Amino acid sequence: GAVVSQHPSRVICKSGTSVKIECRSLDFQATTMFWYRQFPKQSLMLMATSNEGSKATYEQGVEKDKFLINHASLTLSTLTVTSAHPEDSSFYICSARERGWGSGYTFGSGTRLTVV
Amino acid sequence: QKEVEQDPGPLSVPEGAIVSLNCTYSNSAFQYFMWYRQYSRKGPELLMYTYSSGNKEDGRFTAQVDKSSKYISLFIRDSQPSDSATYLCALPGGANNLFFGTGTRLTVIP
C-alpha cells in the first residue's frame, strides 16, 4: 500500500529559530500533499494544501509567511516553521493522496515540535 | 454547524466487548466515508472506507452508513487491548479537503 514518510518524528528547537519538516511519498507520486496540525486531544486541523510546482493554498487564519511550504517534486513536500515560538509547539502531520484511488489519503507518522 | 460531529469520549470497555463509534454529518453531498485509527503520537491510518449507504465488513470491524439520517458508525467486535486508540471519522469534501470528526478515544481494558 501507499506509504508516506515524515521526518523528523520529533524536534526541539529554540524560540526564534526555524524548523523544516519533510514529507515523502515513498512508492507513489503525489501531486497534492496536505499539512495538518493537531493539538492534544483535538482533531486534525488542515493548515494548507501543497501542490507540486505551484504555490500552496493556505487555510484561513494560517500565516503563509510563518509556515512556508515547498512542493518541489512529485514525492516531496516540506513545511518550514519560521521564527518558531512556544505557541507553535504542536503535532504536525502530512498526508498525500495517491492518484487514481478514489479519495484515499495516506498520512505520515507526524512530527512533534517543541519550541523552548 | 460543523461539517462532522463526533463524540470525543473517552470510551472505556472491557476486552471482548462490542464497541460502537458514531459520527453525524451535515452535508448530504458527502459520498465517501472513512474511518481512521490514530495511536498516540502517530499519524492516522486508514481503517475502512465506504461509498454510499450500507454496511462494509473487514474482520472484526464493520462500517455502517445511513445517508438518510446522515449517520455513520464503526463497530468493533471482540475488542482487544490493541484496539485502544483514537478513532476519527473523515469525509472527503470536494477536491482536496478532508473533514475530520474530533475523534473518539477508546480504551479496551484487559
| Chain A residues 26-55 with CB within 8 Å of chain B | 32, 34, 41-44, 46, 49
| pLDDT of the residue at A98 | 72
pLDDT band at B28 (very low <50, low <70, confident <90, very high): confident
Summarised one tens digit per residue, pLDDT across range A31-83 is 889 999 998 878 888 999 988 888 899 999 999 999 999 988 889 999 999 99
**What mean pLDDT do residues A13-22 have?**
97
Tell me how close the Cα of B81 comes to any Cα of chain A, in angstroms. Answer: 20
CB contact under 8 A, A109 and B43: yes
Task: Detail the DSSP E strand segments found in B1-110.
Answer: 4-6, 11-14, 19-25, 32-38, 45-51, 54-58, 61-66, 71-76, 85-93, 97-100, 104-109
Is the pLDDT at B106 greater than 70, yes or no? yes
**Average pLDDT, rounded, for chain A:** 90
Closest residue by Cα to residue A103 from A34, A23, A19: A34
Residue B10: closest C-alpha in chain A: A41
Rounded to whole angstroms, how far apart are CA atoms A36 and B40? 16
Enumerate residues 50 to 109 of chain B having a beta carbon within 8 A of any beta carbon in chain A.
Answer: 51, 88, 90, 92, 96-98, 100-103, 105
pLDDT of residue B22: 96
Condensed to tens digits (0 to 9), the pLDDT of residues B33-86 reads: 999 999 988 999 989 888 878 899 999 999 999 999 999 999 999 999 999 999
Query: Amino acid identity, residue A90?
Result: S
Shortest CA distance to A109 belongs to which of B45, B59, B106?
A: B45
Provide the pLDDT confidence category of residue B95 given band limits of 50, 70 and 90.
low
For a pLDDT cut of 90, what percent of chain A falls above it? 66
Q: In this prediction, what percent of chain A has a pLDDT beyond 70?
A: 94
Beta pairing class for A111-115 and A10-13 = parallel
**Mean pLDDT, rounded, for A88-94:** 96
Kindly tell me if the per-residue pLDDT of A102 is higher than 60: no
pLDDT at A100 over 60: no
Q: What is the predicted pLDDT for the residue at A101?
A: 52
Is A42 in Cβ contact with B44 (below 8 Å)? Answer: no
**Å from B5 to nearest chain A CA?**
11
Query: Which of B33, B38, B86, B107 would you mutate first to test chain A, the one with the most A CBs within 10 A?
Result: B38
Higher pLDDT, B8 or A95: A95
